[in-house]
Structure 1
């Protein structure tokens, strides 16, 4: 949201209250620094009259993290913040002297100079990482006739566009020469956010617009720090797009809180950030296998499902999870949690038969209750649905006729919803696809009194937490997994998330990857997407290229809208391509599963943008068409019909996975041409890769006939850890031209030098 008209002017209808002078600085207890900033320079006593103050409070919830709260009028309710699950008391050292005040926490310090002009700076390890100078902190008073951005953000079709407010609080931080900004959730435009206006406001907008399902008010830069805005409502970013020398973020209301998080490197920032807001739960090994779906509006019944499953097995295409999309329930009844008896007359028997085939089962959910469902009247009578201010149940006809929205701020409503899920789990359902969660209205009241604008983004967190909790309780820790579309800060604790409604084109395939890379730089470790695209039917070429891309990630799903995504529906080569990449992924499971465990421990994503893994390489800074899978495998999906692809290899020795050829790169581009059965896949110098022998399932005994493959550049003490799904673990270490094992490796493993 832009408030200025160029460098000199303010937009009509805007009255800025800028922090112009640090008038008084004092310690507020042992660990907090409080600054009273006047909105004009005080030259004489009379200047203190009729003069607004902004109170700036510095604190620290963790080492290397400094919180800043800006307040104009503090008497009203504070905006809803996120669950800072890692926050602790007692951090931060305050110093106040005649020159100003500072707060130091770990390696990072914030300092405010006494007097005018107002100046706030952040320093770490002997260098300034960000500054907030004169006119960089403000409360903006907005008249009804103010000219802001004109069009509200959000999904207007869904009635979820936010309204303009009468006041906004903002902060601008310096954007240095060459400083690049990443993150802000799963965004499908350019990976580098410089020059963009970004609205943190969940919307069901597909993958080809500026709207996003997963909005996260957290960004990081290549200067070794990140910033989290602690507000669950609408946050507007101007990333060098209003003041080109600054990153601006603003929220509606009289206060703003944010945290500057220092990590030294992008990976270090993500480690500290996820320590504050939470790291992903462990996901089960079986979830890494191929998920096969009914697709959305296609015709299906148990015979269809059985035919798909049996044909995949006959063609040696391993499937781990079968997913039933929306129409497992009767139309107009979503969600009533009841199998449609016309197409699935024996759900208990069907689920048992699928389990006998070695499959897990996923079913689709959303947080809505259609009026036709018998559960609607029950939920309405008990007060379990979100209400309008007049006390009536909020309803509309979009998606499901007359549907209501479950109020997850009501503990009884949450338990009621969860009890229906428990019944499904007892029946044999293993996991849930938690769809929607973005079309959340504003003209409503919540059971706990939450402000509707702050609940719009937060709703998805409560929804996914409710479902995930059931799976953890019923299936056990480490066995719970979602397939979720919407998210906000903290959503990474509830994996897995998928990229939403893409189209069946090369362009959409590329924008899908950009979304996943952006989400990874926002603290999310596990991610998936619809192989082949969702809307439309891909041609055979697009499908085969997408198969390679989709199976070189953590989670892989065949899913579409109005057409099936079984490979033989495209051509026989698609079957072979699926076989090649499914078996490749399964052979990599000892590596991938360990990377997933590490992600749960550190917050470093499994799929890594090049800028995350190579922060000192300027050639990697803008790359959004390739990534690292874990620390050792470089993947460059093919986004062209011709098979031509450009891939950048950072400095070092890279081994071609397919040929074994070694490329000594000085940070150079290569143009390659690939058939459908390969993509640019390179192994990083010094890698030690555990390769599994079982290419039929993702949750096998990884130590059985395990091969430890040592690549050029590995030195003594290089190694790899392998953890089996049952928890047995071993460390394999290179030394003196051989490999030794420490732990539960057993005696059926071997090693080879690539």
Structure 2
């Protein structure tokens, strides 16, 4: 809808009132209120301003009957005078609950025993016990960790809108974390967030980190459970900001969620078993990557994209700085009339001769003209792209490849033919967060359901394309992600500011993405836009060396020689640290693939009973054994929390700290605080002198 500026409307209203033109003032206000009503209906599941109209939510007023069904336990509720059937599926650790239409990920009940009495039923599995109390004051307790009741579960069915609302109490020191890639903080307690894909640079670029490229409807609570909302529709979470407890409102006609009640490790394994185990990338993915954006290569001193890339690779080689990959955005770039088909062939041939893989770029948007150029035999109205009827001219909304269309893969292959023939080894799978609500897909789904789901369809198609031409020896890394994307691609942290604020956001983003089932994540080291100062660049480099993927990218050069000889030496040191750690990274990646446990793990995940650990969201464990505390502020000092156990300094193997303990440590620009858990087995590649770096 046309944008309405509240400040302009206020001025127009005041001018009308000054003229004593009440009719005009009311018309201006009506226009503004209509704008607010439409806008807030996107975010509040019952379509009201701030969920004020509570009476429109229907209670599950009475649990009339509990009985064994064909697949699980059948619950008969009375809601708004009508019978509503719900299904409770006992799981190994926890339970799945759904009403009517199921969500996108299906599971069945594990073997269980149902014991019935007059007012209470008990469901027992190998690891879980669920008690069900019938009647007006009905209650379902799942392993004494999660409660469903008349007071905390409601449905909305009104005026063509559908939603459900679930609430839980929050303990005084309870922490909730996950929800996808969250830049503002690891602990989302005390925040309101919307699980709805956005180009988060809108917020991150102006230091508002509450938007996300990767919204995943899965989170952990330190009360001992994890919850997965099985829906791709808009979800609004109030984690104790306005509502005194935890409130989750989910739009759409799918009331389906799973409660996991095992250990954090068991919950990660069960969640990824349901939504898809993370793919296992090739070993070389865990080595350093060089790279840059199209502007960085086009604007270089030679003005030649390929020569710029070759020059960077040659200089790194001469400096004895190892890399396994080059992000070659711009090679073969279609930009206006610019298209040099030979560029991907040239840089791929040059890099491959030196044992380096080359990665391209693509985003999800494609207009009708471009799509028609790839499928000239296809009538325009039958092209496999999304449609938004009623939106044209200046109001035209973006279109994307419609992967529900039978010719979508044909279009994607045509788009990629030259680069596949050139030998590209992977790509950034960029964007994927801007599917309009009004978009229509070939299979009948609308944009309001597909906006979050598009990331899964998008990466699944790219995985199919690259597997066809490259087998398993390739890498895909996506900016957008939702539940299930981990099965098809790695991820990267999107566009961040180049200074310390961007670094802080990136630490939060990597830790929360991992906790949400996205273990193979890397960031644009140095930030995306602009040029950072040398101090922050070196801190970025140190952090990147202890990320699942160490990669560089930006609109300006990210090579260390643009700063100083000292920066070159430190970059080389951490690139070789990365190579030293390669066996450990591979082992950690294999565990992530098998179990879903992330490579970057928040302290609260590894020490769930430690309330102090919940405070330090800027520390994490890299794998089982390395405690990492990145420096993300100016200066050479930071406070470090050491959890329970004995910790040994990775870089000198001399300093030892016994936790739990908080210390303020000196951290020179050459060092990132990293400590090894005492007793750990740490597989490394070392040189003949057995030195790190």
Match of 1:18 in 2: 59
Moved more, 627-636 or 685-694: 685-694
Partner of 2:421, secondary structure, is helix
- How far apart are the structure 2 equivalents of 1:530 and 1:641? 20
Moved more, 498-507 or 91-100: 91-100
Residue 95, structure 1, aligned to residue 111, structure 2: no
Q: Within 5 A, what are the aligned runs for 1:111-510?
A: 111-123=131-143, 128-140=144-156, 166-206=161-201, 207=204, 208-245=208-245, 247-263=246-262, 265-298=263-296, 299=298, 300-326=304-330, 328-332=332-336, 340-341=339-340, 345-370=342-367, 373=370, 375=373, 378=376, 380=380, 382-389=382-389, 404-421=399-416, 423-477=418-472, 479-510=473-504
Partner of 2:506, secondary structure, is helix
Partner of 1:688, secondary structure, is coil
**Gap change, CA 1:377 and 1:495, over 3 Å in 2:** closer
* Structure 1 residue 572: Cα displacement: 2.0
1:305-332 CA distances to partner (integer Å, 9 max, x unpaired)?
A: 1111111111121121111225641214
**Gap change, CA 1:134 and 1:402, over 3 Å in 2:** closer
* Structure 1 residue 3: Cα displacement: 8.2
**Gap change, CA 1:254 and 1:278, over 3 Å in 2:** closer
User: Does the CA contact (< 8 Å) of 1:691 and 1:707 recur in 2?
Assistant: no
Partner of 2:441, secondary structure, is coil
- How far apart are the structure 1 equivalents of 2:151 and 2:315? 66
Residue 566, structure 1, aligned to residue 559, structure 2: yes
Match of 1:736 in 2: none
1:484-540 CA distances to partner (integer Å, 9 max, x unpaired)?
A: 100000111123101111101112201111111111111111110010111221011
User: Does the CA contact (< 8 Å) of 2:344 and 2:424 recur in 1?
Assistant: no
Partner of 2:155, secondary structure, is strand
**Gap change, CA 1:94 and 1:453, over 3 Å in 2:** farther
Partner of 1:512, secondary structure, is helix
* Structure 1 residue 371: Cα displacement: 5.4
Match of 1:617 in 2: 610
- How far apart are the structure 1 equivalents of 2:624 and 2:445? 42
Moved more, 219-228 or 484-493: 219-228
* Structure 1 residue 682: Cα displacement: 0.8
Match of 2:680 in 1: 687
Match of 2:3 in 1: none
* Structure 1 residue 234: Cα displacement: 1.0
User: Does the CA contact (< 8 Å) of 1:288 and 1:554 recur in 2?
Assistant: yes
User: Does the CA contact (< 8 Å) of 1:25 and 1:101 recur in 2?
Assistant: yes
Match of 1:699 in 2: none
1:572-596 CA distances to partner (integer Å, 9 max, x unpaired)?
A: 2211111010001101111111111
User: Does the CA contact (< 8 Å) of 1:364 and 1:433 recur in 2?
Assistant: yes
* Structure 1 residue 360: Cα displacement: 0.2
- How far apart are the structure 2 equivalents of 1:199 and 1:228? 15
User: Does the CA contact (< 8 Å) of 2:602 and 2:619 recur in 1?
Assistant: yes
**Gap change, CA 1:639 and 1:197, over 3 Å in 2:** same
Q: Within 5 A, what are the aligned runs for 1:618-697?
A: 618-693=611-686
User: Does the CA contact (< 8 Å) of 2:56 and 2:156 recur in 1?
Assistant: yes
* Structure 1 residue 441: Cα displacement: 1.0
**Gap change, CA 1:233 and 1:255, over 3 Å in 2:** closer
- How far apart are the structure 2 equivalents of 1:654 and 1:419? 54
**Gap change, CA 1:324 and 1:708, over 3 Å in 2:** closer
**Gap change, CA 1:65 and 1:427, over 3 Å in 2:** farther
**Gap change, CA 1:310 and 1:395, over 3 Å in 2:** farther
1:197-222 CA distances to partner (integer Å, 9 max, x unpaired)?
A: 22111111224431110000111111
Partner of 2:145, secondary structure, is strand
* Structure 1 residue 35: Cα displacement: 2.0
1:118-170 CA distances to partner (integer Å, 9 max, x unpaired)?
A: 212111xxxx1111233211123567xxxxxxxxxxxxxxxxxxxxx734221
- How far apart are the structure 1 equivalents of 2:516 and 2:392? 33
- How far apart are the structure 2 equivalents of 1:600 and 1:175? 32
**Gap change, CA 1:502 and 1:24, over 3 Å in 2:** same
Give the alignment partner of residue 35 of structure 1, picking from 75, 79, 97: 75
- How far apart are the structure 2 equivalents of 1:450 and 1:179? 38
Moved more, 296-305 or 458-467: 296-305
- How far apart are the structure 2 equivalents of 1:494 and 1:396? 36
**Gap change, CA 1:348 and 1:2, over 3 Å in 2:** closer
Give the alignment partner of residue 514 of structure 1, picking from 491, 508, 511: 508
Residue 607, structure 1, aligned to residue 600, structure 2: yes
User: Does the CA contact (< 8 Å) of 1:653 and 1:662 recur in 2?
Assistant: no
- How far apart are the structure 2 equivalents of 1:257 and 1:582? 45
- How far apart are the structure 1 equivalents of 2:348 and 2:475? 18
**Gap change, CA 1:519 and 1:324, over 3 Å in 2:** same
User: Does the CA contact (< 8 Å) of 1:295 and 1:565 recur in 2?
Assistant: no
Partner of 1:385, secondary structure, is coil
Gaps in structure 2 of 5+ consecutive residues: 1-42, 299-303
**Gap change, CA 1:183 and 1:362, over 3 Å in 2:** same
Give the alignment partner of residue 104 of structure 2, picking from 75, 78, 82: 82
* Structure 1 residue 396: Cα displacement: 8.0
1:692-745 CA distances to partner (integer Å, 9 max, x unpaired)?
A: 136xxxxxxxxxx79799xxxxxxxxxxxxxxxxxxxxxxxxxxxxxxxxxxxx
- How far apart are the structure 2 equivalents of 1:348 and 1:397? 38
User: Does the CA contact (< 8 Å) of 1:22 and 1:112 recur in 2?
Assistant: no
Match of 2:128 in 1: 108
User: Does the CA contact (< 8 Å) of 1:692 and 1:706 recur in 2?
Assistant: no
* Structure 1 residue 116: Cα displacement: 1.9
- How far apart are the structure 1 equivalents of 2:495 and 2:597? 26
User: Does the CA contact (< 8 Å) of 1:59 and 1:68 recur in 2?
Assistant: yes
Moved more, 373-382 or 460-469: 373-382
- How far apart are the structure 1 equivalents of 2:58 and 2:120? 22
Match of 1:743 in 2: none
- How far apart are the structure 1 equivalents of 2:238 and 2:540? 34
* Structure 1 residue 387: Cα displacement: 1.7
**Gap change, CA 1:455 and 1:395, over 3 Å in 2:** farther
User: Does the CA contact (< 8 Å) of 2:260 and 2:267 recur in 1?
Assistant: yes
How many pairs align? 633
Match of 2:19 in 1: none
Give the alignment partner of residue 533 of structure 1, picking from 527, 532, 557: 527
- TM-score, with structure 1 as normaliser: 0.79
* Structure 1 residue 422: Cα displacement: 5.5
* Structure 1 residue 25: Cα displacement: 2.3
- How far apart are the structure 1 equivalents of 2:489 and 2:517? 12
Partner of 1:690, secondary structure, is coil
